[in-house]
């Protein structure tokens, strides 16, 4: 009796298992047939929330059949991790593109496909596309997404308390710094040199455009008509060196998160910023803050801003879901995406020609400078960082050293120039 019962039970269990496995297989098959899953590789781990709760759902409203997964690495590890995954064939379908050579390199190695035939690319100007096009400008391999703008963010309450007005010229800037320093309660400039890139990006590239006149100087540098040892570049380094006495105690060991905290805790008055800091400050600072553009040398000078093409998205050449990926890219080129991106991530400004209302007042101020000043991109990014030594890395190094006082501005300029001249033909003469 007992054995009989257990036999029947076993048989039933076997049937159940068989049915279950057939159903599961059928489901899996149906799944594979109807929905495609796209995986996005990105370095914007800070933005994972916005992608998962706003951008991807908005995309799925229009294209419910395409599933999108956002996968991010920390910014400093992204390039290495992505290259390793591309080499191993495990990289995602969509690849967030760094500007210029890092992505150009991927395209030349056959990891990215041309997006010339993707609908929506016509929404972007040549300047916007330049960061993700071949040197002859004929092929674009990533769909431009956003740029970042440099400037200075200041603590409005401290400015009100000390009766200061945002400076327009370098002289006014130094007068403001002197007043804050004389008061003694606050650190005038929140900035550290430990991470090095802060000195180069928030310092040198931020204020530099006013010295080398934006695109004019950047192009002259590429053509070999200007050198780093020329006056504008040395002057930019000199200005950087003059910030040192206004920076916080031990700024040499101060890292980027320290700098952000110093400002959001209300202990520093002025923060040389990238516009990407705005959403973070919105969340963390409990005081009112505002922004001013990099001060010009003489009153009435034309102003320039570093409006740097920073982020784009391309398609992995080995992707199994090429059509879905192209659909996603043309959606990225749409005004709808620009609107969401600009307002969910204030500080990243869409590159498309579509008019977008930026609702955050400080972010709107940053993007407003596009109307009054001339935009330019960071001068080390196009072509000039192709050789060894790498110009961008050199600028990090020398800018940090200039601010640390361990290198004179002239020496810094000479080092950058010597490094460039050692491999770049137009500078060899």
Partner 1 sequence: MTDLTAPSVHSTDVVSARSRFPVHIAVFLAPALAIYTLFSIYPLIDTIRLSLYAGDETGARSFVGLRNFYTLLTDPNWSGQFWNAFTNNLIFFAIHMVVQNGIGLGLAMLLSLPRLIGGSVYRTLIFLPTMLSVVIIGFIWQLILNPLWGIAPSLLKAVGLGSFFGPWLGQESTALLTVSLISVWQFVGIPMMLIYAALLNIPDDLLDAATVDGAGPFSVFWFVRLPLILPTLGVVSILTFVANFNAFDLIYAIKGALAGPNFSTDILGTFFYRTFFGFQLQVGSPTMGAAVATAMLVIILIGVLIYLFGVQRRLQRHTF
130, 133, 155, 193: which one contacts partner 1 (CB under 8 A)?
193
Per CB under 8 A, 198 contacts partner 1: no
Nearest-approach distance from CB 49 to partner 1, in angstroms? 23
Q: Considering only residues 232-271, where is the footprint of partner 1 by CB under 8 A?
A: 248-255, 258, 261-262
10, 12, 62, 109: which one contacts partner 1 (CB under 8 A)?
109
Per CB under 8 A, 79 contacts partner 1: yes
Per CB under 8 A, 302 contacts partner 1: no
Neighbours of 25 (CB within 10 A): 10
Nearest-approach distance from CB 77 to partner 1, in angstroms? 9
- Contact call for residues 56 and 68 (beta carbons, < 8 A): yes
Instruction: Give the range of 123-131, 174-182, 291-299, 378-386 binding partner 1 by CB under 8 A.
Output: 378-386
Instruction: Give the range of 15-23, 156-164, 314-322, 388-396 binding partner 1 by CB under 8 A.
Output: 388-396
Report the residue number, 329 or 402, with the smaller CB distance to partner 1: 402
Per CB under 8 A, 110 contacts partner 1: yes
Residue the block writes with tokens 């959403």: 279
Nearest-approach distance from CB 11 to partner 1, in angstroms? 42
Nearest-approach distance from CB 388 to partner 1, in angstroms? 5
Report the residue number, 349 or 381, with the smaller CB distance to partner 1: 381
Nearest-approach distance from CB 55 to partner 1, in angstroms? 26
Per CB under 8 A, 105 contacts partner 1: yes
390, 408, 414, 426: which one contacts partner 1 (CB under 8 A)?
390
| Chain residues in the site for partner 1 (CB under 8 A) | 76, 79-80, 83-84, 100-102, 105, 108-110, 192-197, 248-255, 258, 261-262, 380-381, 385, 388-393, 396-397, 400-401, 404, 406-407, 419, 422
């Amino acid at each position: 009796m007992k054995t009989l019962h257990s036999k029947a039970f076993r048989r039933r269990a076997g049937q159940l298992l068989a049915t279950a496995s057939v159903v599961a297989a059928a489901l899996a098959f149906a799944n594979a047939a109807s929905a495609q899953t796209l995986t996005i590789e990105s370095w914007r781990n800070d933005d994972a929330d916005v992608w998962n709760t706003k951008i991807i759902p908005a995309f799925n409203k229009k294209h419910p059949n395409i599933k999108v997964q956002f996968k991010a690495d920390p910014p400093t590890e992204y390039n290495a991790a992505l290259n390793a995954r591309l080499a191993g064939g495990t990289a995602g379908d969509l690849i967030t593109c760094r500007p210029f050579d890092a992505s150009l390199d991927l395209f030349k190695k056959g990891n990215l496909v041309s997006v010339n035939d993707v609908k929506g690319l016509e929404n972007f100007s040549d300047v916007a596309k330049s960061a993700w096009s071949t040197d002859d400008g004929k092929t674009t391999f990533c769909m431009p997404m956003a740029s970042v703008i440099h400037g200075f963010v200041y603590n409005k309450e401290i400015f009100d308390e000390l009766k200061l007005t945002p400076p327009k010229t370098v002289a006014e800037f130094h007068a403001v710094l002197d007043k804050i320093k004389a008061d003694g309660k606050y650190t005038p400039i929140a900035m550290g040199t430990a991470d090095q890139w802060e000195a180069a990006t928030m310092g040198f590239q931020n204020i530099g455009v006013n010295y080398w006149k934006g695109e004019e100087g950047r192009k002259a540098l590429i053509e070999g008509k200007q050198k780093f040892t020329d006056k504008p570049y040395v002057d930019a380094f000199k200005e950087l060196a003059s910030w040192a006495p206004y920076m916080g105690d031990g700024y040499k060991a101060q890292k980027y998160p320290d700098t952000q905290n110093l400002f959001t805790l209300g202990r520093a008055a002025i923060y040389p910023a990238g516009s990407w800091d705005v959403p973070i400050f919105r969340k963390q600072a409990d005081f009112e803050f505002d922004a001013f553009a990099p001060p010009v040398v003489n009153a009435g000078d034309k102003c320039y801003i570093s409006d740097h093409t920073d982020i784009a998205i391309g398609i992995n050449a080995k992707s199994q879901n090429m059509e879905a990926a192209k659909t996603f890219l043309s959606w990225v080129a749409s005004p709808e995406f620009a609107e969401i991106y600009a307002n969910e991530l204030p500080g990243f400004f869409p590159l498309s020609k579509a008019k977008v209302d930026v609702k955050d007042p400080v972010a709107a101020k940053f993007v407003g400078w596009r109307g009054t000043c001339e935009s330019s991109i960071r001068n080390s990014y196009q072509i000039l960082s192709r050789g060894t030594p790498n110009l961008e890395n050199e600028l990090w190094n020398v800018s940090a050293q200039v601010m640390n006082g361990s290198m004179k501005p002239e020496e810094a300029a000479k080092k950058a120039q010597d490094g460039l001249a050692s491999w770049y033909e137009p500078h060899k003469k």
